[in-house]
Amino acid sequence: MSNIIVQKFGGTSVASPKRIEAVAKIVGQEIDSGNHVAVVVSAMAGETNRLIDLAKKIQKKPDPREFDAVVSSGEQVSAALLAMSLKKKGYNSRSYNAFQMGFKTDSSFGRARIRKVSEEILQDVLEKNIVPVITGFQGFDDENNITTLGRGGSDTSAVAIAVSLNAKECQIYTDVDGVFTTDPNIYDKARKLDHLTYEEMLELSSLGAKVLQIRSVEFASKYKLPLRVLSSFGSNGGTLINSNDNLEEAVVSGIAFTSNEAKITIRKVPDIPGVAAKILSPISDAGIEVDVIVQNVASDNTTDFTFTVHKDFADETSKILEKLRKELGSGEIEVDLDICKVSVVGNGMKSHAGVASKMFGALADEAINIEMISTSEIKISVVLEEKYKELAVRTLHDAFELDKN
């Protein structure tokens, strides 16, 4: 079967009976235009938080299996309500929960990985001209336990369903118009992007996280499934995310930023081979992800080793390093929570020199001091003092003329 579109609607899109009827209209239009549609829904906005609160009132650290049974219930409600609304409009529709749809996962409660989505059930439903409305977020394991894919997992559910149906496109409806060149709350010249590659979207995650679960982008990228982010509150084509980087693209697509990292520095580490591994191994063993890493050798054959971790793990990281100090024979450990990371992202960078120098020059013109630098093929990140964040974002947005199409 061809002409299949998967449409996913987030919590704000199905927040009330009225919103659900608006969603039914969007789905109906897609069907009327000649496509087969499979729908995936999140719980009504606020519902999952209500359920989490309930669970935490019973157990501060809720039992993972039972927690998933509690928090997955909201999707069943919104799916059935949307199916009702579609029936009311004359479309043959049915809701399906994970079990009914054969949405198998492993047994990692709270962060389950998808094993298999039953194409047979899906194909059968679509061939009968039924519009399936499928619960996002939830799955079930080999022992019929209910699992969940983790916060925002409905996007990943939708992509998995789209992949198994070999859909033309997976549309992620949300409450914003698409992905922007930067956060419009920080800079009002931010412009909606019509198109991005998967890689750009992944690098823009700090902007996109509010829009789209990153895991779903990785998943879509793996299967070359076109993803489209758009608003259920009236849209203008949204942002298409695919692997097409042959178009005449802008050099830079957007400016991402985050304040949730901490900078950790170990002073005067003896510069001997293997020292980086010695420092980072116990940290990764503790399950802590390290982001930007910089190592500079000083003249006295010692090095200042600096890296960033998520702020939540700053304490734990510093404790691990304190234990290492003697062994390493190193100096002080410094933790700086007062930093931000600002990144320039763009597929066009690959073939354009000079992005880095333009970026550093623009920041220098504003007297913004760069503390760390990290580069990849399509991203250049700088770590700055937190206070410079907004200024840096606006400066770079202007420097790369992102307000212009």
Within 8 A by CB and 6+ apart from 404, the residues are: 191
57 counts as binding a copy of itself under rule CB under 8 A: yes
Shortest distance (Å) from residue 27 CB to a copy of itself: 14
SS3 78: helix
CA distance 351 to 57: 54
Interface residue with a copy of itself, options 67, 137, 388, 400 (CB under 8 A) = 67
Residue 94 amino acid letter: R
Q: Is residue 10 at the binding interface for a copy of itself, with CB under 8 A as the rule?
A: no
Alpha-carbon Rg for the chain, nearest whole angstrom, is 24
Instruction: Order across the sheet with 302-310: list the strands.
Output: 290-297, 302-310, 261-270, 333-336
Helix (H, G, I), strand (E, B) or coil at 14: helix
In the chain, the N- to C-terminal Cα span, in Å, equals 37
CB-nearer residue toward a copy of itself: 91 or 307: 91
Q: How far apart are CA 97 and CA 65, in angstroms?
A: 17
The string of DSSP codes covering 118-166 is -HHHHHHHHHTT-EEEEESSEEE-TT--EEE--TTHHHHHHHHHHHHTT
Report if residue 17 touches a copy of itself, rule: CB under 8 A. Answer: yes
Binding of a copy of itself by 65 (CB under 8 A) = yes
Does residue 80 bind a copy of itself (CB under 8 A)?
yes
Least gap, CB of 152 to a copy of itself (angstroms): 21
Structural tokens at position 250 = 């802008």
The tokens for 159 are 């992509």
According to DSSP, the residues that pair with 172 across neighbouring strands are 8, 229
Q: How far is the CB of 85 from a copy of itself (least distance, A)?
A: 5
* 318-322 contact pairs (CB < 8 A, 24+): 318/264, 320/282, 320/283, 320/286, 321/264, 321/266, 321/279, 321/283
Q: How far is the CB of 16 from a copy of itself (least distance, A)?
A: 8
For the record, the structure tokens of 272 come out as 């001997």
Report if residue 21 touches a copy of itself, rule: CB under 8 A.
Answer: yes
The interface with a copy of itself within residues 32-51 (CB under 8 A) comprises 51
d(CA 122, CA 208): 29
Nearer to a copy of itself, 88 or 352 (CB): 88
Q: Which of 39, 70, 158, 372 binds a copy of itself (CB under 8 A)?
A: 70
In the block, tokens 């519009």 appear at 131
Binding residue (CB under 8 A) for a copy of itself from 83, 122, 212, 225? 83
Ranges within 87-106 binding a copy of itself (CB under 8 A): 87-88, 94-95, 97, 99-100
- In angstroms, give the least distance from the CB of 133 to a copy of itself: 9
Q: Judged by CB under 8 A, which of 76, 216, 231, 306 binds a copy of itself?
A: 76
Q: Does 375 bind a copy of itself (CB under 8 A)?
A: no
What's the min distance (Å) between Cβ of 72 and a copy of itself?
Answer: 8
DSSP character at residue 348: G
Among the candidate windows 15-23, 308-316, 351-359, 394-402, which touches a copy of itself by CB under 8 A? 15-23
Smallest separation (angstroms) from a copy of itself to the CB of 121: 9
Residue 142 interacting with a copy of itself (CB under 8 A): no
Report the candidate in 205, 203, 208, 206 with the shortest Cα–Cα distance to residue 192.
208
Task: Find where tokens 């996002």 sit.
Answer: 136
Map the footprint of a copy of itself across residues 144-163, applying CB under 8 A: 144-146
Tokens of 334: 């410094």
Selected range binding a copy of itself among 56-64, 154-162, 171-179, 256-264, rule: CB under 8 A? 56-64
Contact between 84 and a copy of itself by CB under 8 A: the answer reads yes
Q: Which stretch binds a copy of itself (CB under 8 A): 52-60, 169-177, 273-281, 329-337?
A: 52-60
Kindly state the tokens that stand for 293: 């890493």
- Residue range at the interface with a copy of itself (CB under 8 A); choices 1-9, 83-91, 186-194, 217-225: 83-91
Q: Is 287 exposed, middle or buried (0-12, 13-18, 19+ CB in 10 A)?
A: exposed
# binding residues, a copy of itself (CB under 8 A): 37
Q: Which is nearer to a copy of itself, 82 or 402 (CB)?
A: 82
Token pair 């983790």 in the structure block, residue: 150
Which one, 58 or 272, has the nearer CB to a copy of itself? 58
Using CB under 8 A, list all residues that contact a copy of itself.
Answer: 17, 20-21, 51, 54-55, 57-59, 62-63, 65-67, 69-70, 72-74, 76-77, 79-81, 83-85, 87-88, 94-95, 97, 99-100, 144-146
